[in-house]
Amino acid sequence: MAVASTSPLSAKPTTATSPPTPAFGFLAPRSRRGRATAWRSLLVEAIRTQREKQGTEGHFEESAAAPLDGVGVGADDPVVPSSDASDWVVKLEQSFNIFATDSVIMVLKGVYRDRYYARFFALETIARVPYFAFISVLHMYSTFGWWRRADYIKVHFAQSWNEFHHLLIMEELGGNSLWIDCFLARFMAFFYYFVTVAMYMLSPRMAYHFSECVERHAYSTYDEFLKLHEEELKRLPAPEAALEYYLNEDLYLFDEFQASRSPGSRRPKIDNLYDVFVNIRDDEAEHCKTMKTCQTHGNLRSPHSTQNCLEADTECVIPENDCEGIVDCVKKSLTK
């Protein structure tokens, strides 16, 4: 009789006659997708070699994302309010966001328990929703002539693109194996979209802080997972989706969502599944920092346009057709 592995990351059953159970045991990525194509392997190796020559891997070790309990990036750090916002309003918004996030976390932990990949699939399905919601609202504002700031739409698209690839990785790892897991994740994401749209129209500052709380939870979740299963993860190969995203020759959008970094300052190292989750965790840290930057109105700059702004300060002035929420947009449109 076959004995099931005690590890939640086990890639193989103890006997050939016992099939793996997707709900509780996880397969190695290659057993799901087969062998990587020869051209992909050669391309990945070429990119690795090029980065080694440039010394970027060493730079990555020095500039990896700092833990989010450091100074200046805490979820409870006060956000500088705009001139018409009182401190008590900011505190009320943040208290609600923290309570709502903690409540959702309790539900997710109760539903998924130690089914890590299924939980990560749900987390990534939900995590990319806010950026799509932000873009939707900003496009609407742009249609009415209330908004002309390209940096926000550009950065939020890059954030959505990054979370999309996290989702592809979790799908390749089998996080969407059960129909019920897919249904719950997409059901929550559907309603979360409309909640985020309403919140963003009412108070962009509040919506950005809520997203920061979600990203902070994602960071701590992946960080805990890495500490618990480091040795097992290092023995498993990286998924194809991770290789295609992190070792791509064109990392423009990868640099774009990291508003606190200069383009090219972070280049991922991918040798195994552990490296993949390290980079996903660090991505969440960068999302968290970007969301914190957004909470001060007009503070967000595209990493690729920062240098242009420094050279010509007039290009960095917030234009008149810029607003904070639907009420401010309507008021400004009526006073023009």
pLDDT at 17: 46
Q: How confident is the model at residue 76 (pLDDT cuts 50, 70, 90)?
A: very low
- Burial-class residue 96 by CB neighbours within 10 Å (0-12, 13-18, 19+): middle
pLDDT at 265: 84
- Compute the distance between CA of residue 239 and CA of residue 245 in angstroms, rounded to an integer: 10
pLDDT at 146: 81
Instruction: Say yes or no to pLDDT of 209 above 90.
Output: yes
pLDDT at 40: 57
Residues 6+ apart with CB under 8 A from 14: 2, 3, 4, 5
Contact 117, 26 (CB under 8 A): yes
Q: pLDDT by residue (tens digit) across 283-313? A: 999 999 999 999 988 788 888 875 555 444 5
Phi, psi of 248 (to 5 degrees): -75, 150
The average pLDDT across 20-47 equals 51
Range with top average pLDDT, 77-81, 111-115, 170-174, 263-267: 170-174
pLDDT at 20: 41
Answer with the residue of higher pLDDT: 158 or 65.
Answer: 158
Say how many CA atoms lie within 13 Å of 193 toward its Cβ: 13
pLDDT at 81: 46
Please name which of 315, 302, 146, 120 lies closest in space to residue 218, comparing C-alpha atoms. 120
pLDDT at 164: 96
Q: pLDDT by residue (tens digit) across 150-180? A: 889 999 999 999 999 999 999 999 999 999 9
The average pLDDT across 91-116 equals 90
For 153-167, 189-203, 207-221, 294-308, which range has the lowest pLDDT when averaged over its residues?
Answer: 294-308
- Compute the distance between CA of residue 81 and CA of residue 208 in angstroms, rounded to an integer: 13
Rounded to the nearest 10 degrees, how much is the dihedral formed by the CA atoms of 258, 264, 265, 267?
90
Q: How confident is the model at residue 270 (pLDDT cuts 50, 70, 90)?
A: very high
DSSP string, 59-122: HHHHSPPPPTTSTT--TTSPP---TT--HHHHHHHHHHHHHHHHHHHHHHHHHHTT-HHHHHHH
The average pLDDT across 34-54 equals 56
Q: How confident is the model at residue 193 (pLDDT cuts 50, 70, 90)?
A: very high
The average pLDDT across 180-197 equals 94
Q: How confident is the model at residue 3 (pLDDT cuts 50, 70, 90)?
A: very low
pLDDT at 16: 45
pLDDT at 301: 84
pLDDT at 32: 47
CA angle centred on 217, ends 57 and 80, rounded to 5°: 95
Q: Which domains does the chain show, CATH number per domain?
A: 113-295 (1.20.1260.140)
The percentage of the chain sitting over the pLDDT mark of 90, rounded to a whole number, equals: 47
Please name which of 26, 12, 207 lies closest in space to residue 121, comparing C-alpha atoms. 26
pLDDT at 88: 83
Contact 226, 1 (CB under 8 A): no
The average pLDDT across 106-119 equals 90
pLDDT at 212: 95
Instruction: Say yes or no to pLDDT of 183 above 90.
Output: yes
Residue-wise over 70-79: b if at least 16 C-beta within 10 A, else e?
Answer: eeebebeeeb
Answer with the residue of higher pLDDT: 71 or 288.
Answer: 288
Mean pLDDT (the chain, rounded) = 78
Tell me the whole-structure pTM to 2 decimals.
0.76
pLDDT at 23: 39
